[in-house]
Chain A
Amino acid sequence: MKASGFAKWMGRNTVATPPDIESAALRSDRFRLERENDWIRLEAILRRMERGRVRGLSDDDLLALPTLYRTAASSLSVARETSLDAATLKYLESLVQRAWFQVYGPRQGLFSWLRGFLMGGWSRAVREIWLDICIAFAVMVAGSIVGWILVERDREWYYALVPAQFTDSRVPGATREQLLESLATTEDAGGLSVFAASLFSNNAGVAILAFALGFAFGIPSLLLLVHNMAVLGAMIWLFAGQGLGLEFAAWLSVHGTTELFAILLAGAAGMHIGRSMAFPGDRSILAAAAESGRRGALVMTGVVLMMVVAAILEAFPRQLVGGTFDRLLIGGTFLLAWITYFFIYRPTNPEADQ
Chain B
Amino acid sequence: MNAAVSSLDARRREIVTPEGITLPVRVGARMSRVGALLLDFTFLYVGLLIVFFILALTLGSLFAAMIDGLDSEIGGLGELIVVIIILFLFIARYGYFLSMELGPRGATWGKRIVGLRVAARDGGRLTADAVIARNLLRDIELFLPLAFISAAGEGQMGNAGLAGAVWFAIFMAFPFFNKDALRAGDLIAGTWVVEAPRTKLADTLSTQGAASGTSAVTGTRYEFSDEELSIYGEHELQTLEQLLRHAKEDALPDVHAAICRKIGWAPGAGDERAFLEAFYAQLRAKLEGDMRFGKRKKDKFS
The residues of A with any CB-CB pair to B shorter than 8 Å are 1-4, 18-20, 23-29, 32-33, 36, 39-40, 43, 49-52, 54, 70, 73-74, 76-77, 81-88, 90-91, 93-98, 100-102, 104-110, 113, 188, 190-191, 193-194, 196-198, 200-201, 204-205, 208-209, 211-213, 215, 273, 286-287, 289-291, 293-298, 300-301
Kindly state the separation between the CA atoms of A191 and B127 in the bound complex, as whole angstroms: 40
The answer for the CA separation of A215 and B167 in the assembled complex, in Å, is 13
- List the A side residues contacting B19 at CB < 8 Å: 70, 73
Please indicate which of the listed interface residues B23, B82, B133, B184 has the most CB atoms of chain A within 10 Å of its own CB.
Answer: B133
Residue of B nearest to A72 (CB): B21
Q: Is B152 in the interface zone, CB < 8 Å from A?
A: no
Residue B267 lies at the interface, judged by CB distance under 8 Å to chain A: no
User: Which chain B positions have C-beta within 8 A of A77?
Assistant: 21
Within 8 Å by CB of B209, from A1, A188, A293, lies A1
- Provide the bound-state CA to CA distance between A106 and B127, in Å: 6
Cα A188 to Cα B269 in complex, Å, equals: 94
Contact indicator B139/A25 (Cβ below 8 Å): no
Of B105, B125, B204, which contacts A24 at CB under 8 A? Answer: B204
**In the bound complex, do residue A294 and residue B130 qualify as a contact, i.e. CB atoms below 8 Å apart?**
yes
Given contacts A29-B207, A98-B196, A188-B73, is CB(A88)–CB(B126) below 8 Å?
A: no
> Is A113 a contact of B234 with CB atoms below 8 Å?
no
Q: Which of B219-227, B256-264, B284-292 contacts A (4 or more CB under 8 A)?
A: B284-292
Interface residue ranges of B128-166 to A (CB < 8 Å): 128-133, 136-137, 139-140, 144
What's the minimum C-beta distance from B97 to chain A, rounded to whole angstroms? 11
Q: What mask results when residues 272 to 296 of chain B are scored 1 for a CB within 8 Å of chain A, else 0?
A: 0000000001001101100110000
B204 contacts A197, C-beta separation under 8 Å? no
Q: Is the CB of A25 within 8 A of B21?
A: no
Contact of A93 among B24, B106, B245 (CB under 8 A): B24
Give Cα A239–Cα B274 distance, bound, in whole angstroms. 95
Is there an interface contact between B127 and A36, defined as CB atoms closer than 8 Å? no
Contact A197 B188 (CB under 8 A): no
Inside 8 A of B209's CB, which chain A residues have their CB?
1
Quote the shortest CB–CB distance from A92 to chain B (angstroms): 9
Determine the distance from Cα of A194 to Cα of B288 in the docked complex, in whole angstroms. 72
Interface string of B189-226 (1 = CB under 8 A from A): 11100001111111111111101100000000000000
